[in-house]
Amino acid sequence: MRFFLVRHGQTAANESGLFYGSTDLPLTPHGVEQSTRVAGLLADVSFSQALCSQLQRAQQTAQLIITASETDPRLNEMHFGRWEMRHFSSIAEEEPDAWQCWLDDWQNATPGGGEPFPQFAGRVKAVADELTLRQEPGDMLIVAHQGVLSLLLAHWLQMPTESLWHFPFRQDAYTMVENRGGFMVLRVFNDRSPFRSDE
């Protein structure tokens, strides 16, 4: 099975550089353009299944690519608690101790009211493990978020959790991972060229 990973298109929070995960924002007009472009790149792929986050930015993106998708809340982005919809500069100024703790140990420092990173990583790992067992022929679309997709990829490539920072997913591209008998192979990353079905 081949997995096509797509990050949702731009939102207003992306545009403003704000922390956000669980805040349910729609795509901006530019985000719609990005997702429509990705749909065109994948027009030659006959998806047998699609998995999507519950959040509307991912749902909107998926709907531009495929008519129907299955929702999995484990694909939702991490919840940043009281840091949601705030810029890092204001957090550093208003909560300097908490901000420094996060910089020093981001895997264990949880923003107030937010989701602990180990819990977030655990739910994404559970999805990754389940998908590794999907070895039948076919193509699956997965539409989610930066944190989710980077963790999926790090886990599939048997890399440590902190490797997620090495995978900045573009909002106008697709990534493809091939499952070869439970061994995951990264075939393309952040591709912005049309995918040919015979590749």
Q: Which residues are annotated as a binding site for substrate?
A: 7-14, 57
Phi-psi domain of 16 (left: phi exceeds 0; alpha: psi -120 through 50; beta: other): alpha
- Annotated active-site residue 155? The verdict is no
Q: Check 8, 79, 145, 155 and give the catalytic one.
A: 8
**Cβ neighbours of residue 122 closer than 8 Å, sequence gap 6 or more:** none
Q: Check 70, 77, 84, 115 and give the catalytic one.
A: 77
CA angle 9, 199, 36 (to 5 degrees): 20
In the three-class reduction of DSSP (H, G, I as helix; E, B as strand; rest coil), residue 52 is classed as strand
- Annotated active-site residue 87? The verdict is no
**Cβ neighbours of residue 22 closer than 8 Å, sequence gap 6 or more:** 55, 76, 77, 78, 79, 80, 84, 115
In the three-class reduction of DSSP (H, G, I as helix; E, B as strand; rest coil), residue 80 is classed as coil
Place of tokens 């061994």: 183
Place of tokens 């704000």: 18
Segment (H or E) for 20 = none
Please report, in range form, the residues annotated as the binding site: 7-14, 57
Question: Any idea which residues carry the catalytic annotation?
Answer: 8, 77
